[in-house]
């Protein structure tokens, strides 16, 4: 590392979160919870990352209690006694090791194909029945569908608090249900949930309000969002800072505490004329804390990884400079923590020769 990383190992307190450092495990789907129930192996998997020095775990996406939220019977649910008991055990293991943890609550929307997941006969849910721009796979959600989905997120947040999690992250990124409301390419509604940028945030803002109402003023509520979509990696919802402001303001007003700004490469400037990334702009516009993410410690992004391209260990570049000048508060780390549960301690201690490259095979075991 060309720069000292000490700053990333300063504690951080926010609404009682009391994190030991700024390293956050990014949410990563594993499909290792048969019957949608996270077992003891899931608890051990997260505990290992805490023992390795990670300050905050954001769990893999875990699906809310809506009939078509899930597209995979091995992805853990966030409802029902068995799954929530499993999560309670995950929380107690993470806490026993001195870590903090939030679930990422998730609805897969039209990324789910009919036939996948727990209710295979039901059609997938999207604001306009589009799986991507111009590709209709079903009917628009009705008002009742929308209400049920919002309610499901609110109940998940209440359960997160009841089970003992330290906050909750709402998955509003990457082309899943919430993001298909954000994106004009998949939201063609003309009611209160579609139209201009502000109206397209309405569904998410209602979810944030439901989560807030279910958990009270002091429970940290994080919203993850991204410009890019799995349906289109080059998609951008906000082309200018003022469009980003139109997008973020209603969400901040609804009660988001922390924005998790999903980038593929953290060092890429979001708009011309400034070297700030999405997290930097989001913090500047909203005044709220932010999490950055994207290829920290690696030289290839995760889309390349899914195509089988390995990634080597990389210098942090300007990460610490960006952090020190206040662009973001926390640093999300994905693949580097998949291959190496001890990654954070190795970085802290300067054990750089022990860092592992990321090989595509890591996806196969996700241990």
Ligand X SMILES: Cc1cc2nc3c(=O)[nH]c(=O)nc-3n(C[C@H](O)[C@H](O)[C@H](O)COP(=O)(O)O)c2cc1C
Per CB under 6 A, residues contacting ligand X are 26-29, 60-61, 104, 171, 173-174, 224, 262, 293-296, 298, 301-302, 333-336, 363
Residue pair 239/273 in contact by the 8 Å Cβ criterion: no
Distances (CA, A) of 315 to 251, 259, 330: 34, 25, 18
CA 34/CA 14 separation, integer angstroms = 35
Please, what is the minimum distance in Å from the beta carbon of residue 195 to ligand X?
Answer: 26
Active site annotation includes 176 = yes
CA 128/CA 183 separation, integer angstroms = 11
Please, what is the minimum distance in Å from the beta carbon of residue 336 to ligand X?
Answer: 6
Count the alpha carbons within 13 Å of 149 in the hemisphere toward its beta carbon.
26
CA 90/CA 39 separation, integer angstroms = 8
Query: Closest CB to ligand X among 27 and 250?
Result: 27
Which residue, judged by CB position, is nearest to ligand X in the bound state? Answer: 334
DSSP 268: S
Please, what is the minimum distance in Å from the beta carbon of residue 330 to ligand X?
Answer: 13
Please, what is the minimum distance in Å from the beta carbon of residue 104 to ligand X?
Answer: 6
Q: Name the nearest CA neighbour of 68 among 183, 145, 147, 171.
A: 145
Query: Closest CB to ligand X among 105 and 246?
Result: 105
Catalytic choice (45, 46, 176, 358): 176
CA 365/CA 360 separation, integer angstroms = 10
Q: Name the nearest CA neighbour of 27 among 227, 160, 236, 174.
A: 174
- Concatenate the DSSP letters of all residues of 61-129 into one string: EEE-SSTTS-S-TTSPBS-SHHHHHHHHHHHHHHHHTT-EEEEEEE--GGGSPTT-SS-TTSPP--SSS
Please, what is the minimum distance in Å from the beta carbon of residue 39 to ligand X?
Answer: 18
**Angle in degrees, CA 263, 265, 268, rounded to 5:** 95
Query: Closest CB to ligand X among 317 and 334?
Result: 334
Query: Closest CB to ligand X among 246 and 298?
Result: 298
Query: Closest CB to ligand X among 107 and 174?
Result: 174
Query: Closest CB to ligand X among 228 and 247?
Result: 228
Residue pair 292/279 in contact by the 8 Å Cβ criterion: yes
Pairing of strands 135-136, 130-132: antiparallel
Backbone angles phi, psi at 327, to 5 degrees: -70, -30
Residue pair 157/211 in contact by the 8 Å Cβ criterion: yes
Please, what is the minimum distance in Å from the beta carbon of residue 121 to ligand X?
Answer: 25
Please, what is the minimum distance in Å from the beta carbon of residue 337 to ligand X?
Answer: 8
Query: Closest CB to ligand X among 194 and 317?
Result: 317
Residues serving a catalytic function are 176
């Amino acid at each position: 590392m060309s720069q000292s990383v000490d700053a990333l190992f300063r504690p951080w307190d926010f609404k009682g979160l009391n994190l030991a450092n700024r390293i956050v495990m990014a949410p990563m789907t594993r499909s290792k919870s048969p019957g949608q129930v996270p077992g003891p192996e899931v608890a051990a998997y997260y505990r290992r990352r805490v023992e390795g020095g990670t300050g905050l775990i954001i769990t893999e996406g875990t699906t809310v209690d809506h009939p078509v939220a899930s597209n995979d019977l091995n992805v853990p649910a966030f409802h029902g006694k068995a799954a929530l008991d499993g999560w309670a055990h995950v929380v107690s293991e993470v806490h026993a090791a001195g870590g903090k943890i939030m679930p990422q609550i998730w609805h897969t929307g039209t990324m789910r194909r009919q036939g996948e997941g727990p209710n295979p006969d039901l059609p997938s849910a999207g604001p306009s029945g589009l799986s991507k721009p111009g590709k209709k796979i079903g009917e628009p959600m009705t008002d009742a569908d929308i209400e049920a989905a919002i309610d499901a997120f609110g109940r998940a947040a209440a359960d997160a608090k009841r089970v003992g999690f330290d906050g909750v992250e709402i998955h509003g990124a990457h082309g899943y249900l919430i993001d298909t409301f954000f994106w004009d390419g998949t939201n063609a509604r003309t009611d209160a949930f579609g139209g201009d940028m502000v109206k397209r945030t309405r569904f998410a803002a209602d979810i944030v309000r439901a989560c807030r109402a279910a958990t009270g003023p002091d429970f940290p509520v994080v919203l993850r969002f991204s410009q890019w979509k799995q349906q289109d990696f080059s998609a951008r919802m906000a082309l200018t800072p003022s469009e980003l402001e139109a997008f973020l303001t209603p969400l901040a007003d609804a009660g988001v505490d922390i924005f998790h700004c999903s980038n593929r490469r953290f060092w890429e400037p979001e708009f011309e004329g400034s070297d700030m990334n999405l997290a930097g702009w989001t913090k500047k516009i909203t005044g709220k804390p932010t999490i950055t993410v994207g290829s920290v410690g690696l030289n290839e992004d995760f889309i390349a990884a899914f195509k089988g391209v390995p990634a080597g260990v990389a210098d942090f570049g300007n990460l610490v400079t960006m952090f020190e000048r206040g662009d973001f508060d926390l640093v999300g780390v994905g693949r580097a923590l998949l291959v190496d549960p001890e990654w954070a301690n190795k970085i802290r201690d300067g054990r750089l020769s022990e860092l592992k490259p990321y090989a595509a095979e890591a996806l196969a075991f996700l241990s």
